[in-house]
Amino acid sequence: MVQFANQRTTFKRLGFSLFITMLSLVVLSGCAASQDKTVTSVKVAQAGNQTVDQAMEEDADVVASTEVNVVLKAGGDVKQIVKNKGEFVKQGDLIMQLDDSDALRAKEKAVLALRNLQSQLDKTESDIAANKRTIQNSMEKLQLQIKELQKNYSSIHNDYDQGLATKKQLENADTQLSSAKLDLNSLQIQLDNLNSTDPSAPLRLQVDTARVSLQDMESTLSDYQVKAPIDGILTDFELKVGMNLHAGQAAGTIQQLNPIKIQANLTRDEANLVRGQTEIPFKLSDGSAAKKARVSFLSDVMSPQNQTYALELSVENSDQKLKPGMKVKLILGAGQKQTVLTVPKSSIVIEGNNSYVFVVSNSAAEKRKVVLGKDLGINRIVISGVKDGEQIVVSGQNRLKDREKVQISN
């Protein structure tokens, strides 16, 4: 019985050992299978340098080369509208006519006032001239009388010396001569006063003032005809007949479209691409052939507000195809080449606003954030995030996790 019990115990021990051994083999087999299952098979391609056209495209705005407000020099009611909003006008073209009836009446009154003053002036000057002639004639007569009186006095004086004339006769002759000389002297003083003064000066000043006022009125009358200050398209013109306007008011705007202007704000790299160039190609959104615009201004100083450089171009626009408000694409650095780092587009994983690639190193896939540049077709420029020659996962990356073990299958 004892021997039988010992045998039974031995069989139990052997069976337990066998169970443990088989269980260990199953666990080890399962772990190995699990380990093999976590290794993901992927295909890779190298990040590499590529020589590309350095040309970049930049959005730009089309604006009028010149904008001039049509400012009214006179006020009044709108009498007639000759040009409409959106029409092309030439410098000097009549845009509208203001009611000038009040100004015309004021001009007629000014004309009549000037005529009246001129008539008064003419009469005054005529009277002065006649007075001068009267004085001169009187003086000439007195001079003749004085000569006769001088002879008479000399004759009587001789007679007096000879006793042939009385003292009374001599005194009378002297008195007549002296009186005539005094009259002549008085007339000379009157003539000198007329010659040294201008009695008609105040009236002449009134005439000149009235004439200038009339000229101002005539000039103001021309202001009631509102004309285009430059060639261009009439915009912001919303007036109607009968509206009352005041002097100094802007009735509309004229935009000069030939030449027309293109404006853009460039980054430092973009500015370096075009600095020194005299022309820059651009294209329209309609797919038409690219044209060239002349560089009129490129800022040397970066704007502190938006950290960009202002660029202005001038374009011949006789066909009026370009209009303010349109967008065009500038082609910057056309014909220039550069070497850039690229990765296949198929390797890029997009998550929200960020872009990633998986870089294989030591049999593990590292998830890296990248900054992308221009699309080159099957490749994409990488500005930062990877280096030349690194292995980039191009197939199987969408199911990878960062630092996951991988097996390269290509």
pLDDT in tens, 228-240: 999 999 999 999 9
Separation of alpha carbons 123 and 117, rounded Å: 10
What whole-number percentage of the chain has pLDDT above 90? 74
Q: Residue 222 has which token pair?
A: 């021309």
CA distance 386 to 361: 12
Average pLDDT, the chain: 88
- 72-101+220-253: CATH number: 2.40.50.100
Residue with the two structure tokens 């299978």: 33
Structural Rg of the chain based on CA atoms: 55
Contact 402, 395 (CB under 8 A): no
Reply yes or no on whether the pLDDT at 4 is more than 90: no
CA distance 407 to 360: 9
Q: Over range 179-203, report the average pLDDT.
A: 93
pTM given for the model: 0.53
Residue 367 tokens, joined = 């998830």
Instruction: Work out the average pLDDT over 312-328.
Output: 92
Partners of residue 382 on adjacent β-strands: 372
- pLDDT tens track for 325-347: 999 999 988 777 878 899 999 99
The arithmetic mean of pLDDT across residues 389-396, rounded, is 96
Amino acid sitting at position 300? D
Helices 101-162 & 167-196 angle (0-180, nearest 10) = 160
pLDDT band at 269 (very low <50, low <70, confident <90, very high): confident
More confident residue, 375 or 43: 43
Q: What confidence tier does 9 reach under pLDDT thresholds 50, 70, 90?
A: very low
Q: What is the pLDDT of residue 53?
A: 75
Q: Are 139 and 191 in contact (CB under 8 A)?
A: yes
Name the percent of the chain lying above pLDDT 70.
Answer: 90
pLDDT tier at 16 (50, 70, 90 boundaries)?
Answer: very low
Q: How confident is residue 93, by pLDDT bands cut at 50, 70 and 90?
A: very high
- Which residue matches tokens 């009134």? 206
E strand or H helix at 12: helix 2-38
Number of H helices, E strands in the chain: 5, 23
Angle at 273 between CA 271 and CA 275, to 5 degrees: 65
Strand 404-408 to 40-46 pairing: parallel
pLDDT the model gives residue 253: 96
- Cα–Cα distance measured from residue 179 to residue 225, given in angstroms and rounded to the nearest whole number: 71
Average pLDDT over residues 32-50: 77
Cα gap 14→25, rounded to integer Å: 17
- The C-alpha angle 13, 18, 21, rounded to 5 degrees, equals 125
| Spatial distance between the Cα atoms of 57 and 213, rounded to a whole number of angstroms | 62
Cα dihedral 81, 84, 87, 89 in deg (nearest 10): 20
State the pLDDT confidence band at 13, using cuts at 50, 70 and 90: low
**409 — phi, psi (to 5°)?**
-105, -5
Confidence at 25, pLDDT banded by 50, 70, 90: very low
Q: What is the mean pLDDT of residues 316-327?
A: 90
- The arrangement of secondary structure in 41-53+338-408, i.e. its CATH architecture, is Beta Barrel (2.40)
| Token pair 């001569």 in the structure block, residue | 177
Q: Which residue has the higher pLDDT, 200 or 287?
A: 200
Question: Matching CATH topology for 57-64+257-335 and 72-101+220-253?
Answer: no
Q: Is the pLDDT of residue 54 over 80?
A: no
Right CATH number for 57-64+257-335 from 3.40.50.300, 3.30.1600.10, 2.40.30.170, 3.30.360.10? 2.40.30.170
Residue pair 156/169 in contact by the 8 Å Cβ criterion: yes
What residue ranges do the domains of the chain occupy?
Answer: 41-53+338-408, 57-64+257-335, 72-101+220-253, 103-204
Does the pLDDT value for residue 30 go beyond 70? no
Question: Residue 267 has what pLDDT?
Answer: 86
